[in-house]
Amino acid sequence: MKYYIIAGEASGDLHGSNLMKELYKADPQAEIRFWGGDLMQSVGGAQVKHYRDLAFMGFAEVAANLKTILNNIKLCKQDILAFKPDVIVFIDYPGFNMRIAKWAKPLGFKTHYYISPQIWAWKENRIKAIKRDVDKMYIILPFEKEFYEQKHNFAVEFVGHPLIDAIHNRIPADKEKFRKDHNLDNRPVIALLPGSRKQEIAKMLSVMLSVVNDFPDYQFVIAGAPSQEYEFYQQFLTNSSVHFISNKTYDLLSIAHAALVTSGTATLETALFKVPEVVCYKGSWISYQIAKRIITLKYISLVNLIMDKEVVKELIQDELNTKNISTELLKLLTPDYRQNLLKQYDLLEEKLGGGGASAKTANLIFKHLT
């Protein structure tokens, strides 16, 4: 079978790579073309475009890069027509993927969606397009099944969360060697995860770093995104005591004592590594003003959304400042607070339905094609 997979972000690259591994197991004759990143490329197949050329954050940034986005959509359509896949597999990234699905379905292409667009957060009216343009939907968050099936009468498959496999199946780092290789001393590590896009890194990292001098008994380590060059981070590395490690986020989380994390998939990854965290988010003024008027969710982090209560502290927009970060980080370092938080993390993992998401999804996709 011929598979065309579209992932437009770092998290999609991770889940796409694991899905590709399982597709090759389920279908040894699989031919795969994809939009994704280095992880998907390492599995095999043919890469059409890297996600670093696709990721634009917020309303204002999308508007400013509209011409590039439209050119990418045109290229994608042309490439699909040339490849003639048996199925197109969309991984999250709805602004782009839903446009392609709308075009592809009437042409007779099978459309499967892995990792649902978060229409339960905003743009719920997208359900009409999903019903019209998507043949099969594979969801990874437990509350999405009720949302789709009971509220909107659209059948979906809950496959569990692929992060559980990605974390449990990784080759563990030699922690002592990792510390030595990156010149880390014996002080506890506070990990800084400022995101993967330039726009969000620029907004998050400076304020995260503003608390470094408040915690001299800890060492701060920035998790560099694989999609960004070291030169981009240099402008923020004004404190010589701060370490920078690129493309080793999981190894870093495996030794971290606490973390400051930009809202997104990384909040859930940090929780699954059982690292106490503060969730941070700050967008452009225009993007934030628009978002707060159309998004009605109580929380922005996946941890809190899945648990349906505030498990981790969220510092959003103006609340994301040096004083508040310092206060909340101090809480994470106190034994009782940590113990209670780690208990909630265990309950979170139970809710996510166990492992095997990538294999379940690959087998379902192949089954529906045969």
Cα pseudo-dihedral 18, 20, 25, 29, rounded to 10: -170
Predicted confidence at residue 56, as pLDDT, reads 60
Predicted confidence at residue 138, as pLDDT, reads 98
Q: Write down the CATH superfamily of domain 172-351.
A: Glycogen Phosphorylase B; (3.40.50.2000)
Predicted confidence at residue 11, as pLDDT, reads 82
Structure tokens at 10: 């770092």
Backbone angles phi, psi at 280, to 5 degrees: -120, 140
CATH class, 2-160+355-369 region: alpha beta
Contact in structure between 271 and 312 (CB atoms under 8 Å): yes
Greatest CA separation for the chain: 61
- Tell me whether domains 2-160+355-369 and 172-351 share a fold: yes
Domain spans in the chain, listed from the N-terminal domain onward? 2-160+355-369, 172-351
Rounded mean pLDDT for each run of 10 residues along the chain, 370 residues in total: 94 93 97 96 96 66 71 95 98 93 98 94 90 98 94 96 88 93 96 91 93 96 91 90 94 98 92 97 66 67 94 94 98 96 95 90 96
- How far apart are the C-alpha atoms of 43 and 15, rounded to whole Å? 12
